[in-house]
Chain A
């Protein structure tokens, strides 16, 4: 009897040890770890932060952001001086239509790596940056003058034609309807109002509190600005909603999706259904609230009149 009892006891004890339930991390713990990840976006600390998070939660951030971390993705192109030697990369970029929309996929003048890293890049060009031309301010004898409304690091502001002629990838969209010049001037002035009105309380980004991805800023918000929202607001003031919410734009091919997936994978490690539902709910909400460069590019109100992709 004893001959059988001892091995059985050993097996039972082993089984009991294995049966110790693996508990899911607390939401507070995941939040804290995830905050470290999003705070590192676009910084030199991103590789270490992503690797640590992946190691702890079994996620794939390092793989999903491999191009950006290796310095070869669109976001990594920012501020790299791609134009070099004074070369204008977009010499034929037209500046002739008031209200024309300019989209780019990277360049010296682009102001936020965060938006570059999180935006979907479904189409060639990988566009994530945007601006709208105020033709009355365009001076062919001083291309450095501010003439394109966009967002800069502190909020809504201006860039120059010279900035845009140095963008790596770029396209120009022209309104394909009869534009009322006076109404457009009024809409451009309305944007100026918002720039002024909210300046002392203004920040830059898709997300309130800078990179809190769970606080997606609405397009009507006057506090948090990003480049394509400035473009959208100007045309909204004119009377056109240029956010196409086009179904062709693949949010699963975006840094934002990767981040959300990483968060919910950590929060719901044992329930793929909960995880999937949370991710889908987030993306559906974000798709409505955010207006992205590619969504503007797909707007039926515009025709692409120029495109030059100099880097993949």
Chain B
């Protein structure tokens, strides 16, 4: 059986995706392009500075390679890319150019237009895209479409499935043949987690908790899926402190904040074991104790070599402080049986915490033993984006845009 849960490399939106499939796709695309089988569009240009194992992402008008030497500019992006406009993988990326609405695939062979994707929002992995039309539909919510590009050829973009969902997407994470979508309903009453079968478009809700000025976030190591909520403002986290809501089909799961009335707060979260194809098994409630008084989850988490790293924050405005807390979560939360039994939340204490120079705004992916992410802390400096290199205690931040 193909290893669908290979942890590396993982781009944001592609976290936990299958490496062998990507590698094959890259090799196939490169071979076809070099052999002249693929009609390269006029926009195609080489990415000469991109190493085979490097991640790459567009940001603004630049294409940035992320490798052993740190972030470096290797080319020009034909648009104005934002942090969540791309899914990085080893040797390239897939990205949506907002103005032309073209979906591009970049590799060492160059930049190739896969097709036009007319949408308001796009969520990407290396092999799939989910687009949203941005229009609310009667009794249904937004319209979503799943896309793929078999073979990675120019013009190969094709529609796979469509569905409607009352969900303001806060996070989207792809694992194998599944996408997990976290978001709130239009009425701002509930944060839900949905599992989407990327081949069929079938979608099911697998967790739900009250929305309490917080937003769903996801992290996965390919074997497990962590669902928690990031608070809207670390200074007012007490409002997000209602527990006892029910994850669908499983144990209780609370809001993203912490137990009220205590100075030490424990963030409630839900952990899923992932089955074949990435399907979520029964949920298990866990409590994340960062060991930092008054801190609440704030920003995007990731997993690296089996450890989950969750950013926590305290303070207000310019005084906001962020820590990266490492958690060793249960290896097989559902017992491998695919069925869970409701049980009290297990409290997991952070095994380490390190101060971050900024927040973790959007994950990029894993490469060279580090996790790369866009750094940003709106409440402290709404102008300053950076690239974070996160390797345990070794944390680097490079300001964006890169200095030429």
List the interface of chain A (C-beta within 8 A of B): 79, 81, 83-88, 91-93, 108, 134, 136-147, 152, 154-159, 162, 165-166, 185, 189, 192, 195-197, 199-200, 202
Contacts and interface: CB of A to CB of B under 8 A. Distances in A.
Given A197-B138, A199-B138, A88 B170 contact: no
Given A86-B59, A141-B361, A92 B138 contact: no
Contact of A199 (B59, B135, B170): B135
11 contacts: A86-B59, A93-B382, A136-B213, A139-B232, A141-B215, A141-B299, A146-B134, A157-B120, A189-B186, A192-B187, A196-B138
B121 A146 contact: yes
Contacts of B61: 84-86
Contacts of A185: 188
A86 B62 CA distance: 9
A142 B171 contact: yes
Contacts of A85: 60-62, 80, 401
A173 B80 CA distance: 28
A3 to B, nearest CB: 79
Contact of A144 (B82, B230, B232, B359): B82
Contact of A141 (B134, B137, B213, B300): B300
A291 to B, nearest CB: 21
Nearest to A86: B60
A166 B98 CA distance: 13
Contacts of B135: 152, 154-157, 195, 199, 202
- SS class, residues of chain A in contact with chain B: loop
Contacts, number: 120
Given A142-B215, A152-B135, A195-B135, A136 B171 contact: no
A159 B98 CA distance: 14
A92 B381 CA distance: 9
Interface string B64-83: 00000000000000011111
Nearest to B98: A108
B120 A152 contact: yes
Contact of A108 (B83, B99, B211, B379): B99
Contact of B382 (A91, A154, A197): A91
B184 interface: yes
B115 to A, nearest CB: 20
Nearest to B384: A91
Which of B84, B136, B139, B299 is most buried by chain A, counting CB atoms within 10 A of its CB? B136
A87 B400 CA distance: 10
A134 B120 CA distance: 18
Contacts of B376: 141
B121 A140 contact: no
B385 interface: yes
B257 to A, nearest CB: 15
B149 interface: no
B168 interface: yes
B287 to A, nearest CB: 21
Nearest to A143: B378
B80 A81 contact: yes
A195 to B, nearest CB: 4
B141 to A, nearest CB: 8
Contacts of A143: 378
A141 B385 contact: no
Smallest CB-CB A-B distances: 8 pairs: A86-B60, A140-B378, A195-B136, A196-B138, A136-B188, A85-B60, A91-B383, A139-B215
A164 B359 CA distance: 21
B169 interface: yes
Given A93-B382, A139-B215, A152-B120, 17 more contacts: A84-B61, A85-B62, A85-B401, A86-B385, A92-B382, A136-B184, A138-B232, A140-B232, A141-B300, A142-B84, A146-B120, A146-B168, A156-B136, A158-B134, A158-B136, A159-B134, A202-B135
A142 B187 contact: no
A147 B230 CA distance: 16
A289 B369 CA distance: 61
B400 A144 contact: no
Nearest to B376: A141
Nearest to A198: B138
B133 interface: yes
